[in-house]
Structure 1
Amino acid sequence: MPFINSKISTPISIEQEQALKTRLGQAISIVPGKSESWLMLGFEPNYNLYFRGSNSEPLAMVEVSVFGGEDATAFSALTAEICNIFHEIMNIAPDHVYVKYQTVKYWGWNGDNI
């Protein structure tokens, strides 16, 4: 039950959003036991982000929440893929993308906690 929320400093076209949705849906399978069939995505375009005191270049803050335990190797590989995705689709330099991971012990869905 992963959730990926992306705060992006630029507008997102419908085409870009669909491409991000598709590519992130594929990328989540890098984490063992995770798949697009349980993935929820959120996009926050035109988000006010500053890096090194400036907002002159496109930026992204990507938050990945997963139910279960940590997997440092998988998270590292996913970070590389997320940076690649945002560079290819949104033209955001990899060194202007932060990726934050959060593992969640309890996850509510369908009226109950898993």
Structure 2
Amino acid sequence: MPTFILHTSSAINDHQNQNIRKDTVDILSQELGKSKDFIVTLIHDSIAIEFGQSEAPCAYVEVKSVGTLSPEQTTAMSDRLCNALQQILSIHPDRIYIEFQESPRHLWGWNGKTFAK
């Protein structure tokens, strides 16, 4: 149910793609306490994004999760995701925005039902 969506101006090769997916799944699983089997990753590369009127490499990331995200979780994920993207894609953390989104359980569907109890 946690979802990682990356939008970046950088071109991503297959090796980088695999590393991003592995690292982000590890980070979300560890920080959210969720099974890796339910984490979704979507990567959109080589798209037109301008950050601060500059075309230097940049990224916009969405992290979506069912339930509440604590300030400690979002701080840790922000740090770790920025570091991973800097290491893998050479995008400086000051050129990365991350939007964290909490979804009520009844607004997230899977397997023909929602996560509402």
TM value normalised by structure 2:
0.92
The 5-angstrom pairing of residues 75-114 of structure 1 reads 75-105=74-104, 106-114=107-115
Secondary structure, in 3 states, of the residue corresponding to 2:32? coil
Q: Which residue number corresponds to residue 49 of structure 2?
A: 49
Structure 1 runs of 4+ aligned residues shifted over 4 Å read none
Query: 8 Å contact 1:65–1:102 — kept in the other structure?
Result: yes
Structure 1: runs of 5 or more not aligned: none
| Secondary structure of the corresponding residue to residue 22 of structure 2 | helix
Of 96-105 and 34-43, deviating more is 34-43
1:17 — aligned with what?
A: 17
1:39 equivalent in alignment to 2:44: no
Q: CA deviation at 1:72?
A: 0.9
- Maintained 8 Å contact 1:28/1:35: no
Which segments of 5 or more consecutive residues in structure 2 lack a partner in the other structure?
Answer: none
Deviation at 1:111, TM superposition (A): 1.1
- Deviation for aligned residue 1:29: 2.6
Q: How many residues align?
A: 113
Once the two structures are TM-superposed, the CA of residue 53 in structure 1 deviates from its matched residue by 1.0
